[in-house]
Amino acid sequence: MENKKIVLLMVIALSIITLAACAKDSKKNQDSVSKTEQNQQVKDSVYKADNTGKTASTNDTKVNKNVQVINTTNTVTKIEGRRKEFIGRLDSIQKELDALPEKKNSDAGVTIAMRSYYGKSYDMYDKALNEIYTLLKKQLSPKIMKNLQTKQIKWIKQKEAAADKEAAQYEGGTFEFVAYNLSLYESTKERCYELVNEYMTD
């Protein structure tokens, strides 16, 4: 009877020791798994951070490329495909002027007819010049347009000075205004063709 109690106590003690050992191993395994998961999470975070950096860098490169493309496309030095159209318009103005009733008397040297004819001629080419200049202002790049604006202001001063000089030769006479209008007409017509040929292509 005494022996049975001893054996039973030993079995219980062994069971307790075994259970404790298993629990310790289980905790170690859990700790190990937990550490592995933590390490994996850290690696994933680093990987994501690296990829985010790479993505940001890639996006920055794309943006820079887009900016370069925009800057390139904004440098418009000439208007494409409009030269023939505007040359045709300017030519048709002269044809319209040549068909005016006062053209014949103007060619004959009748002062009143000349004054009227060259006044109308200047007005029509001046209107065409304004249309051309407005189109260029809309479509040319700011740098090119700024340069053209400087040239245009200089040209206007030269045009008016030339007209005044021509008129001064006939000051007080009936031909004074004829000379003035004729000079404005010729200068303005010439300037129209200059701008079209310089800033437009076929």
Domain locations in the chain as residue ranges:
1-73, 83-199
Signed CA dihedral, 153, 154, 155, 159: sign only: positive
Determine the straight-line distance between the first and last CA of the chain, rounded to whole angstroms: 123
DSSP 8-state secondary structure symbol assigned to residue 200: B
CB atoms within 10 A of CB 90: 18
Q: In whole angstroms, what is the distance from residue 75 CA to residue 116 CA?
A: 43
3-state secondary structure of 79: strand
CA 123 to chain CA mean position, Å: 34
> Topology of domain 83-199, per CATH?
Substrate Binding Domain Of Dnak; Chain:A; Domain 2 (1.20.1270)
- Give pLDDT, residue 55: 46
Beta bridge pairs of residue 112:
none
In terms of C-beta density within 10 A (0-12 exposed, 13-18 middle, 19 or more buried), how is residue 36 classed? exposed
pLDDT at 14: 57
pLDDT at 10: 57
Q: What parts of the chain have a pLDDT lower than 50?
A: 7, 19-29, 31-36, 38-39, 41-72
> What are 170's two structure tokens?
């006939």
* Cα–Cα dist 93/120, whole Å: 11
What's residue 75's pLDDT? 80
Backbone angles phi, psi at 153, to 5 degrees: -60, -40
Residues 6+ apart with CB under 8 A from 136: 79, 145, 148, 195, 199
- CA dihedral sign of residues 100, 105, 107, 113: negative
User: What is the per-residue pLDDT for 26?
Assistant: 46
